[in-house]
Amino acid sequence: MLSKKTKYGLKALTFLANQKDREPVQIAEIANHENISQKFLESILLTLRKTGFLGSKKGKGGGYYLIKDPKDIPMTTVMRVLEGPIALVPCVSLNFYEKCSDCPDEESCSVHKLMIQVRDSTLEVFGSNTLADLMS
């Protein structure tokens, strides 16, 4: 299940990408428009800024704005930042690999085999979409 954090993050990114100019948009405006708790969105935007997707401006007339071209923001990166691993189990994760505590042998694990397929197909979807593809 997709977390609210990810869902809200995606909506906020799309909203910012849909702005005509790259002028700062206030948190409150995004929160209002997308029906998101302002304080919650605040923390999400903060991580998106720290990751390098967004820039921010403080004080009057401040807000958040997109730094990059939407075409240069792949969904794989966004999802990993917001949601974490794309794989459903750590033992098939490319970026967050971890050995299973149960499971003596990965190669012979039935779950492993299946989850690799799921990972690859999901990766293909996220790999072929950028923020630009989510815009209206």
- Please give the residue ranges that form the binding site for its own copies (CB under 8 A): 1-2, 7, 10-11, 14, 34-36, 75, 84-85, 88-89, 101-103, 108-111, 113-115, 117-118, 121-122, 124-126, 129, 133-136
Q: Which stretch binds DNA (CB under 7 A): 12-20, 41-49, 91-99, 125-133?
A: 41-49
39: contact with DNA by CB under 7 A: yes
Asked if 13 and 30 count as a contact pair (C-beta separation under 8 A), the reply is no
Q: How far apart are CA 12 and CA 18, in angstroms?
A: 10
Q: Quickly list H helices, the chain.
A: 4-17, 27-34, 38-51, 75-82, 110-127, 131-134
99: contact with DNA by CB under 7 A: no
Handedness of CA 34, 53, 98, 93 (dihedral sign): positive
Of 35 and 61, which CB lies nearer to its own copies in the complex structure? 35
Token pair of 116, please? 């690799």
Q: Which residues of this chain interact with DNA, rule CB under 7 A?
A: 3-5, 24-28, 37, 39-40, 42-43, 45-46, 49-50, 56-64
